[in-house]
Structure 1
Amino acid sequence: MEEAFVDSAPIRSLLDRAAGLDGEAGDPRLKAIMRDLLDAAARVIVRHDVSESEFWGAIKYLQNSAGEIGLIVPGIGLEHFMDLYLDAKDAAAGLTGGTPRTIEGPLYVAGAPLVEGFDVNLTDDPDDTTSLYMTGQVKGPDGEPVAGAIMHVWHANSKGWYSHFDPTTEQTPFNNRRRIKLGADGRYAFRSKMPKGYSVPPGGATDILMQAVGRHGNRPAHVHFFIEAPGYRQLTTQINFGDDPFAHDDFAFGTRAGLLPVPMRQGDSASITFDFELQRARHAEDEQLSTRARAEA
């Protein structure tokens, strides 16, 4: 079957009606996006001669994968694509510089304790694994310290589990999670335990998909950050540990140049010095987190 089949009058009419284009009700932008999505899906079916069994097998996979959508989206590169798209829009608008953005991932939890001061402790975990000490400064585009910034920090524990999502239930809800209010000098320092990289749940929807396309589902050890401050653009980023074996082969495509510090390891401790650079906000909404749905403890 030729792909031109999708352009035939009956199919165009079907897709127009399915997207609501034959009526005045509804959201025009959503209807236009829906029409393009349906068109793209129809063309994939025709181009690859998708069988009825394959079609309904895909639908069943989607039905069974709802609990792992937050892993599947980064795993198939769409979350990283959004970063690249936003980078390209910034470049077209003449906006350059600043610490690179990268994926948020699905494991942020809103409402972490807000703490102030230098040398903050993130962990409630008494385990005897390697301690992590991280320090640096949040600066603006001219090198000025960013006063009054709030740094959200979250990462996995030494077993690769995130609090709130840990099936062992051994962690407190906000273990390795804090919001740190920085002072006038924009400097931060926190202590926790060295996180471990993780893999997607074995046998789960993401694992099934990764194996089907010949890929793995591993992430390197990393630490996530949101940074927000009045007058500056909110930053969503993370550092991947540069000496992790998956640092350059992250299944979620979270690795970016400039975000790969190598911890200085000595005995049972490790340290990282890392500065963040924010861009100035052009509009009030630049200062805000996206409206993405996030977990709450």
Structure 2
Amino acid sequence: MRAIQQVEFGGPEVLKLVELPVPEPAEGEVLVRVSRAGVNFADTHQREDQYVARQSLPLTPGSEVAGVREDTGQRVVALCGHGGYAEYALAPADRVFPIPEGLDDGTALALLLQGLTAWHLYRTCARIADGESVLVVSGAGGVGSLAVQLARPMGAGRVIATASSEEKRALCLSLGADAAIDGDPDGLRDRLLEANEGREVDVVLEMAGGPVFDVALRAMADMGRLVVYGISSREQNEVRTGRLLKRSQSIVGFWLFHYLERTEHLATPLAELFALAASGQVRAVVGETYGLSEARRAQEDLAARRTRGKLLLDPSR
């Protein structure tokens, strides 16, 4: 089968298109014939072995796929962990979910890893209360575009998003944000307070790290919660505990893969996400589909912030 493999860690140039044997499923595993593979920012960290979990070589990237079960012929999405950038992928049987009729592969994939992340940011981590204001950093991205839309169904009041261009800010507004502002750290706190009608924000969903994290924390209200689910800037932050104590603020870290061992953390929220999509309350923003041979370009475009929404790979080209 055609697959992307790397035998060393490094830049996008280590991603090579190769021929590999079709994997054989072990007991409790499902073999999926891949129609689309999801591309995520975490893939760029894994490529350099700078991800939350240490990686091993050789590595076929790709943590999620949509396709057809080889044993039943059922259309599914699957969390495979690794191996998704290929024509066939293995996944644990309890991490394989049927795609509802009428839902396309791109939408189903967007609602899988990124949709589940957005759901847990609100429900599990921030535990948002009715009417609270929300700041979604990078609201035009894969997780961000879904988090903007989920804010209202989750009970949020005012919703503010950051984005790096006028086009992306217009997208955030079309998805339901009350305000969309430039995410550049310079002057961000003032823009955020103005967008929130002079008030500090209650909940922050943050995936950049570095200066953006520091500014967002300074713009957060008493008893506010800042949820960290990424470090796209690759800049770590330090926090003074006295500040958290004085303002009763919380900082919560989230990594979806800690939640994979309990089915209720996956199946129940995913069913809710599929229902919201079917009712039109949530629209997955599906970005460009690249050929498998273009995996390098896909990661380069993602890292350079030239993309929006969910990026896909098509293993047939």
TM over 0.5: no
Quick check: which has more Rg, 1 or 2? 1
Greater RCO (Cα-Cα under 8 Å, separation 6 or more): 1
Structure 1 length-normalised TM: 0.26
* TM-score normalised by the chain length of structure 2: 0.25
User: Quick check: which one's strand share is greater?
Assistant: 2
Higher percent of residues as helix: 2
